Amino acid sequence: MSIITIENRPASRLSRNLKHMTWNPFSKDKSTDSAQTTVEQTNKVQETEGKGRPTPKRKEAQERNLHPLVPKNRKADRKAAKERIRKKEDEQYEAMRTGDLPHMPRIERDPVHIYIRDYIDARFNLAEYFIPVLFGVMILMLVIAFIWPAFYTPLGILMYVYIIVAAIDIFLMWHKLKKKIVEKFGEKAVGKGTHVCSYACSRALQLRRWRVPKPTSKKRGNWPK
């Protein structure tokens, strides 16, 4: 009898433990699912409150950031680009014609180029009459060749004399202007690649009233400081 009692004690204890056991490894844990759902809802609320809108999906974000490499209508895009460039050039030319310095091209706003323009405009340049003189002499030479042939050669000599004197005048002008530029802006202002010499000579070859940008002073003699 003692043996039977000893053997039945573990069995009765096991049955009592099974009655009190509520966990099943093969069933879903409802508390875990509810906690996970609560965390997801909290994250969504935080995202919505922080940005004012839900976070977009990856596919939607990629489609939004996708830009075609080739435009749909290249002809229309080229035409629109040309119109923008033409409009900008017209605005810059109008600014140079009226003397509106802030809206001029960048090179015309450069202090060195401004100094060159003011110096050339203040000076009397023989070369600025080159085109009118050349055009008038050519017409006179055509007329004289038929009416007074004897004056054809002297008129041609006078034209060449004017060209030589105008070239010497430009040379002296640039020689003096270069020294002033170096004193005011340094050697780099007249260094290689600056093209300030061609800029000064081309402006000296233009009639004062036709120069663009427009001279800041109406009369000559107002030298830059």
Per-residue tokens: 117: 């323009």
- The reported pLDDT for the residue numbered 76 is 82
Nearest to 216, CA basis, from 104, 118, 111: 118
Per-residue confidence (pLDDT) for residue 165, from 0 to 100: 96
- The confidence score (pLDDT) of residue 2 equals 40
Position 67 scores a pLDDT of 56
Q: Which value, to the nearest 10 degrees, does the dihedral of the CA atoms of residues 17, 23, 25, 31 take?
A: -170
In the chain, which stretches have pLDDT less than 50?
1-11, 14-15, 18-23, 26-33, 35, 39, 45-50
What integer pLDDT is reported at residue 72 of this predicted model?
65
Show me where the domains of the chain are located.
75-106, 110-225
Report which residue type is found at 192: K
> Residue 108: CB partners within 8 Å, gap ≥ 6?
96, 101, 114, 213
- At 126 the pLDDT is 93
Q: How far apart are CA 157 and CA 164, in angstroms?
A: 11
- The pTM assigned to this predicted structure is 0.64
